[in-house]
Structures are given as C-alpha cells and as structure tokens.
C-alpha cells in the first residue's frame, strides 16, 4: 500500500486534489492580515526574501499567495516521494519547487544534491526572488526551525519574514507529527506577519543555534496569535 501511495500516478492525483483545495481555501475564506506592511518594501523593491511558516499550515498557505505572487517566488520542498504531490500542488498555484533535504551522514550522492539545491536557493534569493519554506518539514520536530533556511539567509544576506497562519472553522489532526490544519470553505482566516529578520554573514555555531531558538519561538507565537484572532 505504501509503495502504491508513493507511485507517480497516485502522487499526481493527490497533488491535483491538494492544488484544488488550497485554491478553494484562498478564494472562499475571508482572510485578514496583521502587520503585512512589514513586507511591502520587499514586495515593491528588487531585493529577495525568505518566508517561513510551519509545515502543519501547508493547506492554508495560499493565504499569503497574493503577496508572494508579486515576486518570482519558489517553494523549498523535500525531494522525497511524499513531497512530490506538495510540489505538484504548489506548482499549480504558481510556486515552482526547489527540492532540497538534509543528507544522511555518509550519503555522498544526496549530499551533493543538497549542496546543489542550497546553491540554487541562495542564487534565486540573491537575484531578487522569494523563497517560501516550511522550516520544520518534512519530518519535524514540529515547530522547530531547521538550520537550512538560516544558512540560505546568511549566505544571501536577504531578509526573512515569519508568517503565522490560522483559519476557523478548521479540523486539526492532533495525531499527525505537524498537527496539520485543514480549513473549511467560507470561514475566517488570519495571517500574522513578522520581519524583516536577518542572519549576520559571520554567524555560526552558538549564534545560529540562538537564532533558531528565537525564531522558532517567534513563529510559534505568530501562529498562536493568528489562532487567537481567528476565534474572536
């Protein structure tokens, strides 16, 4: 069954279904944005950007599409078979993917692929493009930022924006590692923006770890605020 679900044909169907769903949620939910002006200088200018939201909010992610459609925007997605249908869905929405993951120790082939994808991401952002990332994906831990997105920000020198997303009514799968949230059409939604944030070019070691802890807490706080606002 697992091999069937990961077959290219099934992944294509799942990708189409998710692509239709996220577009329906964008069009039917009444979305409001808090502090969206913080990203306006980047959207109106020539600089690049990196945007982070939690993996569990992928079904709601097109709430931010009207902003990121204004730039050449790509999404960072795992190259795994499970990531294929997400890549297909986001490509349908106008966000082509850069497939990247952390290589296991000793896997030279995957390490080379990861380095090439990282370079592609840095070049894209340095050239004025935007990169949307779920920094705790694809396997978690939930709501903990992985180092990769900070390394892209450090190498490119471009700003990072945090996006807390929530909708109501919605079903949240508490048994899933990312507690993924599925909104119902014709409800209400909120996106809470924070930024710009930067990673110093000479940051390493303990400083990177401190930024990971701080930014993870900030992104979770933005997400909790979006949840609180949408329930009022």
pLDDT in tens, 87-144: 999 999 999 999 876 555 556 666 677 788 899 999 999 999 999 999 998 888 999 9
Which three-class secondary structure state does DSSP give residue 205? coil
pTM: 0.92
Domain that holds residue 42: 2-230
Q: pLDDT tens across 178-217, in order?
A: 999 999 999 999 999 999 999 999 999 999 999 999 999 9
**Total number of domains in the chain:** 1
Q: What is the CATH number of the domain that holds 206?
A: 3.40.1130.10
Scanning 32-80, the segments in alpha helix (DSSP H) are 40-44, 65-68
Distance CA 102, CA 115 (A): 9
């Amino acid at each position: 069954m697992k091999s069937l679900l990961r077959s290219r044909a099934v992944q294509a169907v799942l990708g189409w279904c998710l692509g239709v769903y996220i577009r329906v949620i964008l069009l039917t939910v009444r979305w409001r944005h808090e502090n969206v002006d913080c990203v306006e200088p980047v959207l109106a200018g020539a600089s690049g950007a990196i945007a982070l939201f939690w993996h569990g909010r992928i079904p709601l992610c097109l709430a931010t599409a009207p902003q990121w459609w204004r730039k050449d925007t790509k999404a960072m997605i795992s190259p795994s078979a499970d990531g294929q249908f997400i890549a297909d869905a986001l490509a349908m929405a106008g966000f082509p993917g850069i497939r990247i993951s952390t290589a296991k120790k000793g896997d030279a082939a995957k390490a080379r692929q990861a380095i090439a994808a990282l370079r592609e991401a840095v070049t894209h952002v340095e050239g004025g493009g935007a990169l949307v990332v779920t920094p705790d994906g694809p396997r978690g831990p939930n709501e903990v930022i992985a180092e990769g997105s900070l390394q892209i920000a450090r190498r490119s020198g471009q700003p990072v924006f945090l996006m807390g997303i929530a909708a109501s009514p919605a079903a949240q799968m508490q048994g899933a590692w990312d507690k993924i949230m599925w909104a119902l059409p014709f409800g209400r939604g909120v996106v809470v923006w924070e930024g710009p944030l930067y990673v110093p070019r000479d940051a390493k070691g303990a400083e990177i770890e401190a930024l990971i802890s701080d930014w993870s807490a900030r992104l979770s706080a933005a997400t909790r605020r979006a949840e609180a606002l949408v329930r009022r």
